[in-house]
């Protein structure tokens, strides 16, 4: 069996007040949407967080923590942050580029900027 890819999910703090992330977890569990790319591969969710509120104030240190403690490899920004067109059509968060930058600086792969 292949070694699972270690993933974390980052969601919009404001939108999390009205969204329990059901479709985020369904897409992870069943590999659709942003997780479709992992068809045929093993994946595990090592952490899930909101950004902590504008301007994404806790993303940097929480991702660092997950890297150090859980070997996090890939961070997925949810549609409520990244603003994908498709099933959902949120506007991209204006702080997304900075948050993705933190993740890149840590050496993480980032999904959700497409």
Residue 102 engages ligand SF4 in binding (rule: CB under 6 A): no
DSSP bridge pairs for 11? 50
The reply on whether position 53 binds ligand SF4 by CB under 6 A is yes
| Binding residue (CB under 6 A) for ligand SF4 from 7, 49, 51, 66 | 51
Does 93 sit near ligand SF4 (CB under 6 A)?
A: yes
Applying CB under 6 A, among 33, 34, 47, 56 the residue interacting with ligand SF4 is: 56
Q: Is 61 in the site for ligand SF4 (CB under 6 A)?
A: no
Q: Binding pattern to ligand SF4, positions 62-91, x when CB under 6 A?
A: -------------------x----------
Report helix angle 96-106 to 59-70, nearest 10.
Answer: 30
Tokens of 114: 């497409």
DSSP string computed for 47-106: EEEE--STTTTTHHHHHHHHHHHH---EEEE-HHHH--SSS--PPPPTTHHHHHHHHHHH
Write down how long the chain is.
Answer: 114
Structure-block tokens of residue 98: 């900075």
Q: Residue 41 CB, nearest distance to ligand SF4 (Å)?
A: 27
Q: Which stretch binds ligand SF4 (CB under 6 A): 10-18, 19-27, 29-37, 64-72?
A: 10-18
């Amino acid at each position: 069996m292949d070694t699972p890819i270690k993933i974390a999910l980052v969601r919009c703090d404001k939108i999390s007040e009205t969204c329990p992330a059901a479709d985020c977890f369904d897409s992870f569990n069943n590999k659709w949407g942003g997780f479709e790319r992992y068809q045929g591969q093993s994946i595990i969710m090592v952490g899930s967080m909101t950004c902590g509120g504008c301007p994404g104030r806790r993303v940097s240190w929480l991702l660092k923590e997950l890297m150090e403690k859980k070997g996090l490899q890939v961070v997925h920004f949810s549609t409520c942050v990244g603003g994908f067109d498709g099933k959902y059509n949120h506007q991209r968060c204006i702080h997304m580029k900075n948050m993705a930058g933190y993740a890149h600086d840590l050496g993480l792969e980032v999904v959700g900027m497409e």
